[in-house]
Structure 1
Amino acid sequence: MSASQRRLFWAFLRIGLFGFGGGPSMIPLIRAEVVSRHGWLDDDEFADILAIANTLPGPIATKMPGYIGYRVGGIAGCLTAVIAVIGPTIVAMIALLGLFSRYRDVTWIQGMGQGVVPVVMVMMAQLTWDFWQKSRLTLGWLVSLALATCAGGLIYWLGVHPGWIIGAVLITALLRPTPRAVKGVAR
């Protein structure tokens, strides 16, 4: 296994081990590993991959590692990242479900799952704040607030799936004509 494959494996193994709560709780951990720690992506690339991954079917916990692994190490990197991120879950699920089914009526076992919820909430709030800052700096606070309000209204009040909204924004951005530079005017 090459050095880049080992780094991919350990990065996504950490995500798989500490991403308690499912795919959405892994997103801040993936960002911490691939943007902050290893520099495989910058914030813009990460946001683009997250947006596209949200529009595709299937669990985000395997889509993002698969793509990032492929980008860093080709097909072997894709397999390495996906196996590393799902391995701990498979082992833990087999072991813990056996224990849980045996001791499910014990009070402190029931409290363990509930105790993790506030930690995941804080992680998601941090990710939301990071994306707000990026959006505010790129689009301005007024446009960012308007887009967030529209998206929130469509999702929560009208029940529109987030994938449709992200897809519409991506298509709009692709179809939007780019402004032409005027001769002699620097942009």
Structure 2
Amino acid sequence: MGKQKEIFIAFFRSGMLGFGGGPSTIPLVHKEVVETYKMMTDEEFSDVLSIGNTLPGPIATKMAGYIGYRVGGWLGLVNALIATVLPTVLLMILLLASLNQIREFDFVKGMTNGVVPIVGVMLAVLTWDFLKKSQKSLGWVKGAIILVASGVSMILFHIHPGIVIAVLLLLALFLPFKKEEDGAK
């Protein structure tokens, strides 16, 4: 039962503090499941995140469902999903009742404007961590090529990120990636 409690706490915290939707919860889920409760490794988390991004629907619930199932079986899956969704449901019920009364206040506008850069920094830190880890398996050159090619595909050619991730997953399946030799760095 201790594992179920850890699952609930990890995903409830992420759901409660992840203001702004799925992208803002990803670093929080990472902190809880990798660092705090050690439910999985960084590499396993990045695999879950990659696969979750290729599937339709909210990333937070997909990750919660998979991680909960992996750690605690079917009960863990339900537990993690409830813990992820419960803060949002409770806050929606409480806040929607008073939204019309407070939405024009400057502090409310300031809060929503202040969240955007915070989420950006959190995602940048997580991206940097993944880039450092990719150096171990791919090397800096291949990692940088994949990063630039992905960015160009999404920004210049407007290719959906899910398609880019799916193509990269297929490449990883069929192309042998070996770490660069120390002299080639």
TM-score of the superposed pair, with normalisation by structure 1: 0.90
Q: Could you tell me how far 1:117 is from its partner in structure 2?
A: 1.9
2:139 paired with 1:112: no
Is the CA contact (8 Å cut-off) linking 2:138 and 2:177 kept in structure 1? Answer: no
For 2:182, the equivalent position in structure 1 comes to: none
Unaligned runs of 5+ in 1: 180-187
Please give the per-residue CA displacement for 1:79-123, whole angstroms capped at 9, x wherever unaligned: 000100110011111211222222222222211211222221221
For 1:184, the equivalent position in structure 2 comes to: none
For 1:171, the equivalent position in structure 2 comes to: 170
Matched residue SS, 2:99: helix
Q: Could you tell me how far 1:75 is from its partner in structure 2?
A: 0.6
- The whole-number CA distance in structure 1 between the counterparts of 2:150 and 2:169 is 13
For 1:157, the equivalent position in structure 2 comes to: 156
For 1:126, the equivalent position in structure 2 comes to: 125
- The whole-number CA distance in structure 1 between the counterparts of 2:130 and 2:86 is 29
For 1:32, the equivalent position in structure 2 comes to: 31
Matched residue SS, 1:49: helix
Q: Once structures 1 and 2 are overlaid, which stretch shifts more, 112-121 or 40-49? A: 112-121
Query: 1:30-69, aligned counterparts within 5 Å?
Result: 30-69=29-68
Matched residue SS, 1:142: helix
Residue-pair matches, total: 178
- Name the amino acid aligned to 2:129: D
Is the radius of gyration larger for structure 1 or structure 2? Answer: 1
Matched residue SS, 1:41: coil
- The whole-number CA distance in structure 2 between the counterparts of 1:169 and 1:69 is 26
Unaligned runs of 5+ in 2: 179-185
- Name the amino acid aligned to 2:54: T
Matched residue SS, 2:20: coil
TM-score of the superposed pair, with normalisation by structure 2: 0.91
- The whole-number CA distance in structure 2 between the counterparts of 1:150 and 1:22 is 27
For 1:147, the equivalent position in structure 2 comes to: 146
Please give the per-residue CA displacement for 1:41-84, whole angstroms capped at 9, x wherever unaligned: 10111111100000000000100010000000001100000100
Q: Once structures 1 and 2 are overlaid, which stretch shifts more, 150-159 or 107-116? A: 107-116
Q: Once structures 1 and 2 are overlaid, which stretch shifts more, 4-13 or 90-99? A: 90-99
2:86 paired with 1:83: no
* RMSD after superposition: 1.5
- The whole-number CA distance in structure 2 between the counterparts of 1:178 and 1:99 is 54
